[in-house]
Amino acid sequence: MAEDFKVIVFTLAHEEYGIEVDKVRTIERMTPVTRVPKTPVFVKGVINLRGVVVPVIDLRSRFGLPESEPTENSRIIIVAANELEVGFIVDSANDVIDLNTDMVENPPEVVGGIKAKYLSGVAKFGENRLLILLNLSEVLNRSEIIQLEQFGA
Amino acid sequence: MEMNQYLSIFIDEANEHLQSLNENMLRLEQQPEDISIVQIIFRSAHTLKGMSASMGFEDLASLTHEMENVLDLVRNDKLKMNGHIFDTLFKCLDSLEGMVQDVVGGGTGSADVKELVSQLKQIVKGEPAAPASAGQAAIASGSSELAMVATHLLLDQYQLSVLRQSIENGSPAFHIEVTIREDCLLKGVRAYMVFDALERNGELVKSHPSVQDIEQEQFGHQFSVYYISRIPQQELQDTLDKISELESVSVVPLDLESLSELDESRSAEQQMQEAAQQAAATATATSPAAAAADKPASSEAPARAPAAAPVANKTIRVDIERLDSLMNLFSELLIDRVRLEQLASEVRRNDLTETVEHMARVSSDLQNIVLKLRMVPVDSVFNRFPRMVRDLAKSLGKKLDLVITGAETELDRTVIDEIGDPLVHLIRNSVDHGVETIEGRREAGKPETGVVNLRAFHSGNHVFIEIEDDGRGINQPKVLDIAVKKGIVSPDEAKKLSDDEINMLLFAPGFSTADKISDISGRGVGLDVVRSKIESLGGVVSVTSKAGQGSKWSIQLPLTLSIITAMLVKLGSEKFAIPLSSIVETGIVQRSAIRDLHGAKVIEYRKSIIPVLSLAAVLDSPDYSEENEQETEMLVIRKGEKLAAVLVDELIGQSEIVLKTLGKYLTNLDVISGATILGDGQVALIVDPNALIK
């Protein structure tokens, strides 16, 4: 039985990505980020989200894409998963669409330079648009950070 | 039936009543003659019984019921408290506590209470148990008005002599009988107005029913008082007549003659009562006075009792998470306030500036309240210790007084929740190892009863809790001996240790000095756990001791875990906060004063050499380095005995900061212990000075 679900659409390096709407807390404009020393490069630091300190990571850098300067369109998407609350810096976030599980296919090995394990599928919709769905628990997987920490030390 | 919503209320209240029972039983043990304490205990037990029965906890209800029976006899002077009764009642309290705990854990609150119930029943039977009310009622019927008054208004020797003296001194004494109209809705309030008028003009000697019962509207429509007046009879009558909704007020002057009559009727009453008891008078009294006599016990309480009764605080229970979110929202507000103030100073419009200033004042008041909301008196932890010490002392065959001071000192709720276990451990330690046995104390020329002082007090931004005993003190040679044997220190090191350092060995993991292992303390685990617990709360524990005179354990705790005073420092474009508690001094160091010693940088500080750290290097500062400065600001920080100088770009100043965690995603950050939000809304990281000194 196919199920309907909503996703937030955002862009990274001209590709469109999606996160299920129920994982997203809010979407914020860029705010000043405080650097946290001794963290992996993709951890940009922490922000003040209405009195709560939330870590933000740069998704471009997390996926090994070239980093870019924030623009007017840059957004921080605050997601909550695995009991963690983390902000993703993305190039832009501007749409919410309805998807059906029937439209989702398993991701190929590499999409737009991103390893398949970070992705939960690829959805075709509209006129030949492709939407890459993120596997949040893998993106937020801390074991990788711990490995990086050990490597750095 | 949906009981769950009531269950949490039941548990909370049951715990409160148990606590009050425990406390008052201990007080009663100290002053067994004070019937007013028995009254309080009785009321608590009674309420507990009612609550348990309505929640369906039969065992709880039946045990409290039997306790009530015993207490009823005690408060009616039919039974004298003795050691056996105390022990039995304390056992009952333990059993009740166990049952309530069972309910907390989701159980049915049932327990085998048969033995305790039968013990209580024996206590009740062991004394002549003729009901007092029957005897009194029997005498009351058919007597003259004054005699009838006398039966339910028996004055004791003390009250009689007070009245007699005042009459002899010329102040008039009266017997006043007030009847309130049947249709009066708030008779308690009317009665209160009467008492208020009376208390303004003289002194109440005795009232029937008791003032407390009257205030709670537990009386018919009539009450009477013995009263010493400062104003003449007519004036008194006029004053009382002014109170509306009173049916009648009769003021009868008392003279020495009527007093001695009262005295006689009192002794007659006693004789009659004894006779009645011997005859085992039937309990079912149907005389007209029975209604008036149904609360003879309350009338036994002297009129002064209500004043001594503790005034219950009006409180509500709030989930601590709500307080946390209130805190968060409030810190948001603070940030906006700073921004507003900034804007107002730019815009320069008077009415705007005034409004913003007013808001600033209101919000700083609000800040005080919000911060205080989380503060709880340490009493909520201390209150279980008197009972614990009593039991410990009994089981160890020692005599002990626990003296608590400063129980009203307030601490952050999170600290309160955590501090209980360490304190239990330290107190047990003092009772078990510190205070000597009775013989030991006699030999040492000390009073048989040992004293353990438990003190709490504020000092600066800290709360201190001290546990001091007058026992034998710490046996330092023995401590050293064991420390060397267990490999905690090497024999060479041991020789160099100062007295304080030897004492601190007690907190080393795996240390125990007790000759024999008791079930109270001395299992070898403990003091190290105490220390790590207290340190995890941001506190410090230490001990001082004098051989033969006792030892003092001192715990220093931060006032709150959520707000600390910190020094804000700047490294280029970045700001960091360093807790003020570990900063010894700030200053300026010349580049030339920094020397190389075996590859490490050091400076001379107050005649000693201390290491120099570059905060910029530790934190990988992207846009600052002190390398090219001639003189640099420095902070001297301390961890235990060790000092270090930390070089920074600029000192911004000290400020109260609200602690925030960095969340679960970023952990193991080593030098960063948390974050805070500054006035401009930016996040600043908090540097952990303990991690800087290795």
Question: Do B174 and B259 sit in the same domain of this protein?
Answer: yes
pLDDT tens digit sequence for B189-241: 777 788 788 877 777 777 777 777 776 677 777 778 888 887 878 887 888 78
Asked if B219 and B260 touch (Cβ cutoff 8 Å), the reply is no
Question: Do B450 and B572 sit in the same domain of this protein?
Answer: no
* Confidence (pLDDT) at B286: 41
Q: Mean pLDDT across chain A, nearest whole number?
A: 83
* Confidence (pLDDT) at B319: 79
Q: Retrieve residue B181's tokens.
A: 């109209």
Region B52-62 average pLDDT: 79
Q: Is the peptide bond before B558 cis (omega within 30 degrees of 0)?
A: no
* Confidence (pLDDT) at B10: 78
Query: Confidence band (pLDDT; 50, 70, 90) for A78?
Result: very high
Question: Do B121 and B266 sit in the same domain of this protein?
Answer: no
Which of A85, A64, A84, A65 lies closest to A76 in space, CA to CA? A85
User: Which of residues A90 and B164 earns the better pLDDT score?
Assistant: A90
Rounded to whole angstroms, the Cα distance separating B619 from A36 reads: 8
Question: Do B144 and B290 sit in the same domain of this protein?
Answer: yes
Q: Retrieve residue A150's tokens.
A: 């050990």
Contact B668/A149, CB-based, under 8 Å?
yes
Asked if B44 and B25 touch (Cβ cutoff 8 Å), the reply is no
CA of A104 to nearest chain B CA: how many angstroms apart? 29
Residue B312 lies in a domain: no
Asked if B638 has any chain A CB less than 8 Å from its own CB, the reply is no
* Confidence (pLDDT) at B262: 67
Distances in whole angstroms, Cα of residue B456 to Cα of each of B135, B379, B428, B545 = 52, 10, 18, 19
Question: Is the pLDDT confidence value at A46 over 90?
Answer: yes
Count of domains forming chain B = 5
Quick check: is B368 catalytic? no
Question: Is the pLDDT confidence value at B525 over 70?
Answer: no
Q: Retrieve residue B117's tokens.
A: 């119930």
Asked if A12 and A88 touch (Cβ cutoff 8 Å), the reply is no
* Confidence (pLDDT) at B475: 81
* Confidence (pLDDT) at B19: 83
* Most distant CA pair in chain B, distance: 108
Residue B506 lies in a domain: yes
- Measured between beta carbons, the chain A residues lying within 8 angstroms of B672 are 36-38
**Boundaries of domain holding B683:** 563-692
Q: Provide the CATH number for the domain around residue B95.
A: 1.20.120.160
Question: Do B238 and B168 sit in the same domain of this protein?
Answer: yes
Q: Retrieve residue B185's tokens.
A: 């809705």
Region B267-286 average pLDDT: 50
Contact B677/A53, CB-based, under 8 Å?
yes
Which of A34, A66, A69 lies closest to A48 in space, CA to CA? A34
Q: Retrieve residue B270's tokens.
A: 């006693």
Region B106-114 average pLDDT: 75
- Measured between beta carbons, the chain A residues lying within 8 angstroms of B662 are 36, 46, 53, 55
Distance spanning both ends of chain A, measured CA to CA:
49
Question: Do B172 and B77 sit in the same domain of this protein?
Answer: no
Q: Is B53 left (phi over 0), alpha (psi -120 to 50) or beta?
A: alpha
Q: Provide the CATH number for the domain around residue B280.
A: 3.30.70.1110
Asked if B684 and B672 touch (Cβ cutoff 8 Å), the reply is no
Among A4-18, B296-310, B680-694, which is the least confidently predicted range? B296-310
Q: List beta partners, residue B28.
A: none
* Confidence (pLDDT) at B305: 40
Q: List beta partners, residue B486.
A: none
Region A68-90 average pLDDT: 89
* Confidence (pLDDT) at B265: 61
Which of B155, B216, B174 lies closest to B191 in space, CA to CA? B216
Question: Do B576 and B661 sit in the same domain of this protein?
Answer: yes
Angle in degrees, 0-180, between the axes of helices B256-278 and B157-168, rounded to the nearest 10:
170
Distances in whole angstroms, Cα of residue B227 to Cα of each of B166, B208, B234, B271, B415 = 10, 12, 14, 27, 51
| Strongest mean pLDDT among B271-275, B292-296, B492-496, B561-565 | B492-496
Question: Is the pLDDT confidence value at B576 over 90?
Answer: yes
Q: Mean pLDDT across chain B, nearest whole number?
A: 77
Q: Mutate which of A25, A30, A36 to test chain B, going by most B C-beta atoms within 10 A?
A: A36
ipTM of the prediction greater than 0.90, yes or no: no
**Boundaries of domain holding A84:** 4-152
Contact B328/A35, CB-based, under 8 Å?
no
Specify burial of residue B353 (Cβ count, 10 A radius: 0-12, 13-18, 19+): middle
Which of B403, B552, B377, B561 lies closest to B466 in space, CA to CA? B552
Query: Confidence band (pLDDT; 50, 70, 90) for B269?
Result: low
Rounded to whole angstroms, the Cα distance separating B115 from B252 reads: 53
Count of domains forming chain A = 1
Question: Do B461 and B539 sit in the same domain of this protein?
Answer: yes
- Measured between beta carbons, the chain B residues lying within 8 angstroms of A50 are 328, 332
Q: Mutate which of B573, B659, B666 to test chain A, going by most A C-beta atoms within 10 A?
A: B666
Q: Which long-range contacts (CB under 8 A, 24 or more apart) does A32-37 make?
A: A32/B682, A34/B574, A34/B675, A34/B682, A34/B683, A34/B684, A34/B685, A35/B574, A35/B622, A36/B662, A36/B666, A36/B669, A36/B672, A36/B685, A37/B618, A37/B619, A37/B620, A37/B669, A37/B671, A37/B672, A37/B685
Asked if B225 and B204 touch (Cβ cutoff 8 Å), the reply is yes
∠ Cα A46 A47 A50 (to 5°): 140
Region B115-129 average pLDDT: 72
Region B537-563 average pLDDT: 81
Asked if B367 has any chain A CB less than 8 Å from its own CB, the reply is no
Q: Provide the CATH number for the domain around residue A100.
A: 2.40.50.180
Question: Do B389 and B493 sit in the same domain of this protein?
Answer: yes
- Measured between beta carbons, the chain A residues lying within 8 angstroms of B622 are 35
Q: Provide the CATH number for the domain around residue B654.
A: 2.40.50.180
Nearest CA in chain B to A139: B665
Specify burial of residue B221 (Cβ count, 10 A radius: 0-12, 13-18, 19+): middle
Question: Is the pLDDT confidence value at B520 over 60?
Answer: no
Query: Confidence band (pLDDT; 50, 70, 90) for B398?
Result: confident
How far does CA B644 lie from the centroid of its chain?
Answer: 41
- Measured between beta carbons, the chain A residues lying within 8 angstroms of B328 are 50-52
Please tell me which of the candidates B328, B682, B684 has its beta carbon nearest to residue A51: B328
Q: Retrieve residue B348's tokens.
A: 């320069």
Asked if B370 has any chain A CB less than 8 Å from its own CB, the reply is no
Quick check: is B429 catalytic? yes
Which residue type does B662 have? Answer: L
pLDDT above 90 covers a percentage of chain B that reads 7
Question: Do B61 and B189 sit in the same domain of this protein?
Answer: no
Specify burial of residue B238 (Cβ count, 10 A radius: 0-12, 13-18, 19+): exposed
Question: Is the pLDDT confidence value at B272 over 60?
Answer: no
* Confidence (pLDDT) at B263: 67
Asked if B329 has any chain A CB less than 8 Å from its own CB, the reply is yes
User: Which of residues A117 and B630 earns the better pLDDT score?
Assistant: B630
Contact A50/B668, CB-based, under 8 Å?
no
Asked if B524 and B513 touch (Cβ cutoff 8 Å), the reply is no
* Confidence (pLDDT) at B282: 43
Among A38-42, B17-21, B286-290, which is the least confidently predicted range? B286-290
Asked if B641 and B598 touch (Cβ cutoff 8 Å), the reply is no
CA of A150 to nearest chain B CA: how many angstroms apart? 11
Q: Which of B13, B46, B58, B341 is catalytic?
A: B46
pLDDT tens digit sequence for A101-110: 888 887 776 6
Question: Is the pLDDT confidence value at B104 over 90?
Answer: no
Question: Do B603 and B488 sit in the same domain of this protein?
Answer: no
* Confidence (pLDDT) at B354: 92
CA within 13 Å, CB half, A4: 2
* Confidence (pLDDT) at B326: 85
Question: Do B106 and B229 sit in the same domain of this protein?
Answer: no
Quick check: is B68 catalytic? yes
How many other C-beta atoms can be found within 10 angstroms of the C-beta atom of residue B683?
Answer: 24
pLDDT above 70 covers a percentage of chain A that reads 87
* Confidence (pLDDT) at A144: 63
* Confidence (pLDDT) at A77: 94
Residue B315 lies in a domain: no
Nearest CA in chain A to B619: A37
Asked if B152 and B299 touch (Cβ cutoff 8 Å), the reply is yes
Question: Is the pLDDT confidence value at B184 over 60?
Answer: yes
Name the residue with tokens 């004492």: B503
Name the residue with tokens 């546990």: B467
Question: Is the pLDDT confidence value at A120 over 60?
Answer: yes
Q: Which of B24, B66, B175, B429 is catalytic?
A: B429
How many other C-beta atoms can be found within 10 angstroms of the C-beta atom of residue B381?
Answer: 22
Nearest CA in chain B to A81: B665
Q: Retrieve residue B67's tokens.
A: 């306790």
